[in-house]
Amino acid sequence: MTAQRTYLTDEMVARIEALAPRYPNRRALTLPALHIVNAELRHVPLGAVAEIAAILGLAPAEVQDTLTFYQFFHQEKPHGTVRAFVCRSVSCALRGGDHLLEHLCQKNGVEPYGTTADGELTIEPAECLGACDFAPCILANDDLLKNMTPETAEAELKKPRARAT
């Protein structure tokens, strides 16, 4: 019997199932499944949560509970083609991280965590990105942008980028 799914493709389900032998139970697949879905859809809507839960044999509330804890997966609408995490923790803050975030939000006409009207760019404050040797820094999809100034960051975030993995 094939389940009717709206959000998860057969390919996503196959990728989730391929990880199953790594864990002694299916609940441990929750975060990997959320990442697989999020990488494709750029968000994990509630409908997808229910489908993940059905695949893993969990209550949707269990998956939703985990998802909401991390505040990482957008649920209402997809994040931008480029998702930029701007570090605001101490080492970056000492070298202008807060200013950088403010500048980028203002130039792109968004609030922190917001997405530009064309859906291209989401700007999110991040806690320490672990690249304090290159402060202030930004993680844009899979690319670490080092030693940013408001000007260089603005230019960098206009560039097209490979999708996050």
Partner 1 sequence: MQPFKPVLLEAIGVPDGHSITSYKSRGGYAPLEATLAGKQPSDVIDMVKASGLRGRGGAGFPTGLKWTFLPKDHPGPIYLCVNADESEPGTFNNRLLMEDDPHQVIEGIILSSYATRATTAYIYLRYEYPKSWHRLQAAIDEAYAAGYLGKNIRGTTFSLDIYLHRGAAAYICGEETGLIESLEGKRAWPRIKPPFPAIEGLFRKPTVVNNIETMACVAQIARRGVDWFKSIGVPADPTNPRDPGSYGPKLYCLSGHVEKPGCYEAPLGITARELIDRFGGGVWKGRAAKAVIPGGISMGLMTESELDTPLDFAGPGRVGCLGLGTAAVVVIDDQTSIVDFLHNSARFFAHESCGQCTPCREGTSWSLRILERIKAGKGRLKDLDILLELGSTMGMMPGSTICGLADGAAWPMKNAIKKFRGEFEDYIKRTNPSGWMVTDPVPALQIVGAH
Per CB under 8 A, does 27 bind partner 1? yes
Query: Is the CB of 31 or the CB of 46 nearer to partner 1?
Result: 31
* Cβ proximity of 153 and 100 under 8 Å: yes
Phi, psi (degrees; rounded to nearest 5) at 74? -70, 150
Q: In the numeric block, which tokens belong to residue 6?
A: 């709206």
Interacting residue with partner 1 among 127, 149, 155, 163 (CB under 8 A): 127
Instruction: Identify which of 127, 138, 40, 130 has the alpha carbon closest to the alpha carbon of residue 83.
Output: 138
Query: Is the CB of 1 or the CB of 69 nearer to partner 1?
Result: 69
Bridge partner list, 36: none
Query: Is the CB of 62 or the CB of 154 nearer to partner 1?
Result: 62
* Cβ proximity of 104 and 150 under 8 Å: yes
Residues in contact with partner 1 by the rule CB under 8 A: 22-25, 27-32, 34-35, 62, 65-66, 69-73, 85, 88-91, 93-95, 126-135, 139, 142, 144, 164-165
